[in-house]
Amino acid sequence: MKSKIFFIAACTLFLTTSITFGYEATFEPKISVGTEYTDNLFLTDKNKESDYITIVSPSFKAEILGKKSGAKVSYAPSYAFYDEYDELDHWRHNARVTGWAELSKNTRINVNDYFLYTEDPQSKTLHLCGLTIRMRQSILP
């Protein structure tokens, strides 16, 4: 009798169709270290200064995928260490968000957003009487 109940329960469990919602989630952490060399740090015609820049960047990517939709987020902050001009050390940020959904057989919607923050090599910062003033140089002659 117990074997019949077990057999019926196993058949019911494995042979019936069920509606399940499944997704796949991934997370990828990463760290990188690199160097840059510049032979004209201040972008001038005269008095060209060179420097080595070490960049440390921890980052991650996270993704979730479903049958008809998905989303991905990535973020990579990095810190630039200047060898001789340590007053120029700064943060850089790079972020991206992407999402998609299939609304019907022939309709799909995609959404993307990007964020990038780096130093501006064409600007100068003046510190005057406790105020910080940023001036942008024109690229045009």
Q: How far apart are the first and last CA of the chain?
A: 95
Give the per-residue pLDDT at 117: 86
Give the per-residue pLDDT at 57: 95
Compute the chain's Rg from CA coordinates. Answer: 27
Whole-number percent of the chain with pLDDT over 70: 70
Yes or no: say if 80 and 90 are a contact pair by the CB < 8 Å rule: yes
Break the chain into its structural domains and give their ranges: 24-136
If one compares 20 and 5, the residue with the highest pLDDT of the two is 5
pLDDT-derived band of residue 13, with 50, 70 and 90 as boundaries?
low
Mean pLDDT of 31-59: 90
Yes or no: say if 25 and 64 are a contact pair by the CB < 8 Å rule: yes
Give the per-residue pLDDT at 118: 82
pTM for this entry: 0.68
**DSSP string across 56-75:** EEEEEEEEEE-SSEEEEEEE
Where residue 70 falls (left for φ over 0; alpha for ψ -120 to 50; beta otherwise) is beta
Give the per-residue pLDDT at 12: 62
Pairing of strands 123-128, 69-82: unpaired
* Encoded tokens for 89: 């050390």
Question: What is the DSSP code (8-state) at residue 88?
Answer: G
The number of CA neighbours under 13 Å toward the Cβ of 5 is 2
How far apart, in whole angstroms, are the C-alpha atoms of residue 129 and residue 109? Answer: 52
Yes or no: say if 58 and 77 are a contact pair by the CB < 8 Å rule: yes
Give the per-residue pLDDT at 140: 40
H helical segments located in the chain: 2-15
How far apart, in whole angstroms, are the C-alpha atoms of residue 12 and residue 6? Answer: 10
Per-residue model confidence as pLDDT tens digits over 50-66: 999 999 999 999 999 99
